[in-house]
Structure 1
Amino acid sequence: MAILTAPPPMSGDRSGTGLITPGFRLGFALVVSLFFLWAIANNLNDVLIRQFQKALDLNRAEAGLIQFVFYIGYFVMALPAGMVMRRFGYRAGIVLGLGLYAAGALLFWPAAEMRVYSAFLGALFVLAAGAACLETAANPYIVAFGDPTRAAQRLNLAQAFNGVGAVIAPIVGGLFIFSGVEMDDGTLAAASASDLAAYRAGEAAMVQVPYLVLALIVICVAVAIARVPLPTIRPHRAAGQAHGWRRLVGNPLLVGAVVAQFFYVAAQVGVWSYFIDFVKEVDPAVSERNAAFLLSGSLCLFTLGRFGGAALMQKVSPVTLLLIFAIANVVLCGLAMTLPGVGAIAALLLTGLFMSIMFPTIFALGVRDLGPDQALGSSLLIMSIIGGAIAPPIMGWISHGQGGLRAAMLLPLAAFAVVAVYGVMHRRADASPDQNTAGADV
């Protein structure tokens, strides 16, 4: 997910006149690496949902708490992260985020030894708090590394690495977290207590080394960030925030964007959280590893869709493209619910392509024309990602009914329909003569 906010003015002697200001190139590369790191954390959760069902004997609704706790961490930490950065600067916010990220990843080791679900959830909460700091800091900070007129180019470059991380995470999970040992319900029922305990302990231990390696990488990045030259940004204080909140609550397009973003994130997280389970339910012959690789394919389409969507927006308005993509995903979710076998899997895989532009487009449309209230509006849109915490437990609960995960796909279908309604609402507002019809910068 990308958070697009404008940073305060930069101070110091080195002002950017190119894509990247000389002297800050290493710092820029390190900040770009943060986009990759939080994508890894986000998308490994989709593998953990499947893995913890085996290792900890969880049902889908219980495993869905992984995303609930993760996005609660984002929700809780977003505003404190902004306060830290306003008080101590962007470097401090990034180092804090990396420290929390590494601490959460390291906590996976003792959690796996104990095989206590609450311990894993606690580790994920700490890790998510760190990722929230990174995401809140890195997007606006990347603007300060060069010519302000080329800020969108730098952001697109950085977000491409976020997409690379999203594609790689399921592959890493498939190779290093999934053991390749799959036991069906009959085999589990026939296993002795000692064999079953050994199997679950082995599956729990599979997460230890990948998260330890991830923690070490994050620590190295934190040390480097603390030492390299980075742009200095002067903090600025917005006046009249109480009046600003009242104006925002009365702005129907912003309120609509917050609602649409809530449901979009719910749909995205819901689909990807249960993608591997969906593939296994629809076609049990597909291995967990191959299902993880299919998820990586969906994420690859998501990344390609961002580039393709940006190109299409030169000819099609962002709000029109958002409406088309939302309707496409309503149809695809319906097909996933009804088609047999490979057709259902292909339909769900293709939703990644049409999800691609939704988060940044809704965000940009929501903050458009807010003027001095843009920072406050951005905070509301950041907090709307709490939708990602709500969907997985509800979908897991629905999946235990007669319709299984096919029935659970009704939730993302409805959520994409809400996004489509927002698109219709915004198109009508743009067509109204008293509205500013300038295009959004997406």
Structure 2
Amino acid sequence: MTGLAIFATGALSFWPSSVLRSYAGFVVSNLIIGLGISCLEVAANPFIALAGPGELSEARLNFAQGLNGVGATLSPIVVHVALFAGVDHLDLFRVQWCYFAVALFVVSLVIIFYYVPLSEASDDDLEAMALQRLYNAGLDPGDKAFGIAARHLILWSGVLAIWFYCGNREAVVYFWTPLVQDIKPGYDSFWSLTIGRSLLSFGRFLAAGLRFVGIPPRITVGICMLSAFVTSFLALVLPQGSGALTMLLLCDFFEGPVYPTYFAMILRGQGKHTKFAAAATTTAIFGFALWPSVVYGVQQQHLTFSRSALLVVLILFGISTIWPVMLSSRRVLRRWVDPKWSKQRATEASQHGRGSSGS
């Protein structure tokens, strides 16, 4: 509710900035909205990952993030085609009413959540759940991999992997128009980005379904990262035309499941540190802010070749792929993140007289 309240405050603060036509006010408004969204991200993702069978955490989070992708796909279409077509710097009337409507909707959600009882887990509950799961997997909380406590290694290496992933994701989106015009001159950049976002959402829904088949998330995300690396490489080296553009769009498809799957895997087994892990993982999203600047610097060295942005993306994909490979290389790490050990709690735990719990 705190995140929603901050979000609503930011949306309402847009009204005076639009009336005064103040760019500084607009920036402050968006900063407040961003703070609210960050609070929501810290609270909502762990809730989705933990509220239900532990072996399906990745499925729930991929499905939820897929819905987020649907919104990210449809909202620009509504803005582009219906709401703000023809709006200039002197006509902010419709824009401010849109922000106001969003604020009212968010306030209504705050009221609903205030009266609807939602499950909460204390640090002790989360620790008991994690210990039960480690017992099922035949692990101890102090087990190490590469000389580092597995819990800490998974958390901080995962945060770093998400930081790199978010960087290359935003770098592609930020420079989408010059990329598309270099890859296929004359092609509509707006609708190609819309197709890319649609494929990203579809990839998340597909990854959610694959969890019911029983494929370990580390395998799924490893294949996705490797495929994203290959498709981005092909988009870089193929000649101008539909083939290179198709590879760029497929890169979006393979990127889709990475963030929600990484997030759920990082939280698994963190116990009483789950809330801190969620905050640290959400903080890693600030890769959005840094890496586009790096890509811009690279592009300035290759002004006649806009696809040079993909050079940075390739490097970041390569680094991000190390994480699922690392998790698969050690027994301790495999058992720590694989969801199947959450599913065994009802059988093995009951045989040993221990209570059941989730991931």
Task: Report the TM-score, using the length of structure 2 for normalisation.
Answer: 0.74
Q: In the aligned structure 2, how far is the partner of 1:345 from the partner of 1:205? A: 37
> Do structure 1's residue 100 and structure 2's residue 9 form an aligned pair?
yes
Aligned to 1:334: 233
Kindly state the Cα deviation for residue 221 of structure 1 after the two structures are TM-superposed: 3.2
Read off the aligned partner of 2:199 and give its amino acid letter. Answer: L
In the TM superposition, 1:139-150 aligns within 5 A as: 139-141=45-47, 148-149=52-53
Aligned to 1:266: 167
The residue matched to 1:436 in structure 2 has which SS? helix
Aligned to 1:417: 318
Aligned to 1:225: 110
> Do structure 1's residue 318 and structure 2's residue 217 form an aligned pair?
yes
Q: In the aligned structure 2, how far is the partner of 1:434 from the partner of 1:130? A: 34
Read off the aligned partner of 1:375 and give its amino acid letter. Answer: K
Note the aligned Cα RMSD (angstroms). 3.6
Read off the aligned partner of 1:295 and give its amino acid letter. Answer: L
Q: Which string of whole-angstrom CA distances, capped at 9 and with x for unpartnered residues, describes residues 179-206 of structure 1?
A: 68xxxxxxxxxxxxxxxxxxxxx75457
Q: 1:305 to 1:154 in 2, by over 3 A?
A: closer
Whether the 8 Å contact between 2:65 and 2:204 is mirrored in structure 1 is no
Question: Is the deviation greater in 368-377 or in 416-425?
Answer: 368-377
The residue matched to 2:116 in structure 1 has which SS? coil
Kindly state the Cα deviation for residue 400 of structure 1 after the two structures are TM-superposed: 2.8
Q: In the aligned structure 1, how far is the partner of 2:90 from the partner of 2:246? A: 32
Aligned to 2:81: 175
> Do structure 1's residue 364 and structure 2's residue 249 form an aligned pair?
no
Q: Which string of whole-angstrom CA distances, capped at 9 and with x for unpartnered residues, describes residues 12-70 of structure 1?
A: xxxxxxxxxxxxxxxxxxxxxxxxxxxxxxxxxxxxxxxxxxxxxxxxxxxxxxxxxxx
Kindly state the Cα deviation for residue 384 of structure 1 after the two structures are TM-superposed: 1.1
Q: Which string of whole-angstrom CA distances, capped at 9 and with x for unpartnered residues, describes residues 305-340 of structure 1?
A: 112122334243211221111111111222222221
> Do structure 1's residue 301 and structure 2's residue 199 form an aligned pair?
yes
The residue matched to 2:196 in structure 1 has which SS? helix
Task: Report the TM-score, using the length of structure 1 for normalisation.
Answer: 0.61
Q: 1:226 to 1:378 in 2, by over 3 A?
A: same
Q: In the aligned structure 1, how far is the partner of 2:327 from the partner of 2:49? A: 28
Q: In the aligned structure 2, how far is the partner of 1:440 from the partner of 1:225? A: 33
Give the one of 370, 375, 383 matched to 2:283. Answer: 383
Read off the aligned partner of 1:280 and give its amino acid letter. Answer: Q
In the TM superposition, 1:26-105 aligns within 5 A as: 91=1, 93-103=2-12, 105=14
Q: In the aligned structure 1, how far is the partner of 2:26 from the partner of 2:262? A: 33
Read off the aligned partner of 1:326 and give its amino acid letter. Answer: M
The residue matched to 1:378 in structure 2 has which SS? helix
Q: 1:417 to 1:434 in 2, by over 3 A?
A: closer
In the TM superposition, 1:116-155 aligns within 5 A as: 116=23, 118-141=24-47, 148-149=52-53
Q: In the aligned structure 2, how far is the partner of 1:402 from the partner of 1:419? A: 25
Aligned to 1:344: 244
Kindly state the Cα deviation for residue 227 of structure 1 after the two structures are TM-superposed: 5.1
Aligned to 2:138: none
Q: 1:285 to 1:207 in 2, by over 3 A?
A: farther
Read off the aligned partner of 1:137 and give its amino acid letter. Answer: A
Q: Which string of whole-angstrom CA distances, capped at 9 and with x for unpartnered residues, describes residues 94-125 of structure 1?
A: 442332341354466257x35x4x55433322
Q: 1:248 to 1:123 in 2, by over 3 A?
A: farther
The residue matched to 1:334 in structure 2 has which SS? helix
Aligned to 1:55: none
Q: In the aligned structure 1, how far is the partner of 2:218 from the partner of 2:48? A: 26
Aligned to 2:294: 394
Unaligned 5+ residue runs, structure 2? 128-141, 143-147, 341-358
Q: In the aligned structure 1, how far is the partner of 2:285 from the partner of 2:214? A: 29
Q: In the aligned structure 2, how far is the partner of 1:268 from the partner of 1:99? A: 27
Q: Which string of whole-angstrom CA distances, capped at 9 and with x for unpartnered residues, describes residues 362-405 of structure 1?
A: 12222322233222222221211111111122222322332543
Question: Is the deviation greater in 310-319 or in 300-309?
Answer: 310-319
The residue matched to 1:364 in structure 2 has which SS? helix
Q: 1:176 to 1:405 in 2, by over 3 A?
A: farther
Whether the 8 Å contact between 2:5 and 2:106 is mirrored in structure 1 is no
Q: In the aligned structure 2, how far is the partner of 1:237 from the partner of 1:370? A: 10
Kindly state the Cα deviation for residue 283 of structure 1 after the two structures are TM-superposed: 4.0
Q: 1:435 to 1:396 in 2, by over 3 A?
A: closer
Whether the 8 Å contact between 1:143 and 1:154 is mirrored in structure 2 is yes
> Do structure 1's residue 439 and structure 2's residue 338 form an aligned pair?
yes
Runs in 1 of length 4+ with deviation above 6 angstroms? 247-250
Kindly state the Cα deviation for residue 348 of structure 1 after the two structures are TM-superposed: 1.5
How many residues get paired?
315
> Do structure 1's residue 426 and structure 2's residue 330 form an aligned pair?
no
Whether the 8 Å contact between 1:105 and 1:123 is mirrored in structure 2 is yes
Whether the 8 Å contact between 2:269 and 2:337 is mirrored in structure 1 is no
